[in-house]
Structure 1
Amino acid sequence: MGIVVAFALAGGLAQLVDGTLGMGFGVTSATVLLFMGVAPVTASAATHAAKLPTTLISGLAHWREGNVDRAVLVRVALPGAVGGFLGAVVLTNISLASAKGWMSGLLVFFGLVIFARFGLGVRLIPTPRNGNTARWLSPIGLLGGFVDATGGGGWGPVVTPSLMTVTRHEPRKVVGTVNAAEFLVAVSVSFGFLTGAAQHGIPWLPVVGLALGGVIMAPIAARLAGRLPHAPMGTMVGGLVILVNGVTIFDALGGLPSWLDAVLILLAVGVTGTVAARAWRRERDERRAAVLVQAS
């Protein structure tokens, strides 16, 4: 029972981030499961199993709050489902060693994307800046679904910043649309893993905990979308993902001396905290400036 409660808290926090930022649940959950020693294919399958009820409730909650663009939803979700199925099939057919290196590396990359996006205000995934161009929506969804399946997470880090660039929607509507589309992607990815028999060995107690916490938090996160300070939350999530998966990669390469491990961890925590504090001040000042402009 204790492990369910612990993972419910983790799932709730991950969904709070995902439901307000449009990214974080899959990347965070896969990172935790990999750190537990779960095989990469199983970690991705477990993450998407937890996503099924979570993304359903989250999508419905965002829909009720008016945060979903139905036209964009269809154009992103259907290609995303195709990409997700293909990614699941690919992941179930590569070696364990290759899968672990690929997934950890991909999670580090998406940690950098999240950290740069919210901590430094930099977009590491370039997308065209020519307005609401429908032809870019399907490729974005296809790529997002594929990396989501092969990396255990990645739908949000790919699709959310891309839609913020190629559409003129305010952030809450992008976040809501991405969350709603993710349900169909999670269904497709889960079906892809079932065909590859990747469901065997899934740690179901952690999955139940993640799903339970996510389901409880989803309606709250949908209501808070656009209201919480995005920058410090995103910065800390990105920093955590980079740190944990970086340790996994170093261990796979032979590891580092324990004293150097401790120094690097303290340095990473210090840098993340400093950048998060600066990001929070920057976002606060931007919001104040926007209020003054509206008032004038």
Structure 2
Amino acid sequence: MSDLSAIPWEALAPFILAGFFAQLVDSALGMGFGVIGNSMLVLLGLPPAAASSVTHTVEGFTSGVSGAAHALQRNVDWMLFARLVVPGIAGGLCGVWALSHLSLGILRPVLLVYFAAIGIYLIWRGARRPQAYRRMRAVGIMGFLAGFLDSFGGAWGPVTTGSLIAQGMTPRMAVGTVNAAEFFVTVTVLSAFIGSIGFPAFALAASGLLIGGVIASPIGALVTRRASGKNLTQWIGGVMIGLSLWGLVALAFAPIPLFARM
């Protein structure tokens, strides 16, 4: 039997809280773990490269727990899941290759402006037009692009969740389906990165982030199921605008440790 008193809980606690907060937002709103987790790890003292590695590693596990929690809450449209996950995996593999061989830095500011535009639209729409489920268009193309861009810094959630809700999908089903598909895309991207650059271990930070994330996943899924479509739409819009502003500040003030490039 393991000795729990031997675990450095004092040192682990900040990372558990970081993982809990990042995954609570991600599981409830379908986006944010990568950006929030990475930024909080940098704030806690990890070098940016180490923070990114830890975040991607832990996200492979927390996205699986989150996807299962959303499935149990019946937040997943399995037909849409099937249309989303295969192109997402293909896009993720292409993104890892492109990141290793091409210079595509211009994509990040363009993507951040897109996030802000969709976020503003969702806040406007959530207050004025009720969401009604209908068949989504261009899901395969969207999944491929989201998977491709995810390898550049965690774009899967904002691209897919924001775009699906902007088309008119029920927010609860959009968040749940995106979370369920995210596990397969994240594991694919992580495996490709490990194969190309190796696997550094940062046990303390990764363990804390994982513990907090696993605890938060079912809570976030429950919030998604219980929240109204109007509130979810506006919350998601607000998070997208926040992520966009955070990323733009990171690009402008890279020397400031709090705003780490990702």
TM above 0.5, one fold? Answer: yes
Structure 1 residues 250 and 38, CA gap change in structure 2 (3 angstroms): same
Q: Structure 1 residue 143: deviation in Å?
A: 0.8
Show the counterpart of 1:38: 48
Show the counterpart of 1:219: 218
Show the counterpart of 1:163: 164
Q: Structure 1 residue 247: deviation in Å?
A: 4.0
SS in structure 2 at match of 1:132: coil
Residue 71 (1) aligns with residue 79 (2): yes
SS in structure 1 at match of 2:31: coil
Residue 121 (1) aligns with residue 131 (2): no
Supply the AA of the counterpart residue of 1:178. V
Structure 1 residues 183 and 10, CA gap change in structure 2 (3 angstroms): same
Once residues 163 and 82 of structure 1 are traced to their aligned partners in structure 2, the CA distance between those partners, rounded to angstroms, is 19
Show the counterpart of 1:208: 207
Q: 1:250 aligns with which of 230, 249, 252?
A: 252
TM-score, scaled relative to structure 2 = 0.75
1:154-209 Cα deviation digits (max 9, x unpaired): 1111001222244x642111111100000000111011101211533x54432322
Q: Structure 1 residue 226: deviation in Å?
A: 4.3
Once residues 216 and 13 of structure 1 are traced to their aligned partners in structure 2, the CA distance between those partners, rounded to angstroms, is 10
TM-score, scaled relative to structure 1 = 0.68
CA-atom RMSD in angstroms: 3.3
Q: 2:146 aligns with which of 144, 147, 155?
A: 144
Q: Structure 1 residue 249: deviation in Å?
A: 2.3
Structure 1 residues 116 and 81, CA gap change in structure 2 (3 angstroms): same
SS in structure 1 at match of 2:74: coil
Once residues 107 and 41 of structure 2 are traced to their aligned partners in structure 1, the CA distance between those partners, rounded to angstroms, is 12
Q: 1:112 aligns with which of 92, 95, 116?
A: 116
Show the counterpart of 1:190: 190
The answer (yes or no) to whether the contact 1:23–1:155 under 8 Å persists in 2 is yes
Supply the AA of the counterpart residue of 2:216. M
Give the structure with higher Rg (CA). Answer: 1
**Can you give the 5+ residue segments of structure 1 that lack an aligned partner in the other structure?**
124-129, 256-264, 266-296
Higher relative contact order (CA 8 A, sep 6+): 2
1:202-252 Cα deviation digits (max 9, x unpaired): 544323222221111111111111434546754664565455444432334
**Can you give the 5+ residue segments of structure 2 that lack an aligned partner in the other structure?**
1-7, 127-132
The answer (yes or no) to whether the contact 2:31–2:157 under 8 Å persists in 1 is yes
The answer (yes or no) to whether the contact 1:12–1:210 under 8 Å persists in 2 is yes
Once residues 155 and 87 of structure 2 are traced to their aligned partners in structure 1, the CA distance between those partners, rounded to angstroms, is 15
The answer (yes or no) to whether the contact 2:119–2:162 under 8 Å persists in 1 is no
Percent identity reads 36
SS in structure 2 at match of 1:147: helix
Show the counterpart of 2:97: 89
- The alignment of Structure 1 onto Structure 2 pairs a total of residues equal to 238
Once residues 74 and 90 of structure 2 are traced to their aligned partners in structure 1, the CA distance between those partners, rounded to angstroms, is 26
Show the counterpart of 2:180: 180
The answer (yes or no) to whether the contact 2:87–2:141 under 8 Å persists in 1 is yes
Once residues 186 and 237 of structure 2 are traced to their aligned partners in structure 1, the CA distance between those partners, rounded to angstroms, is 25
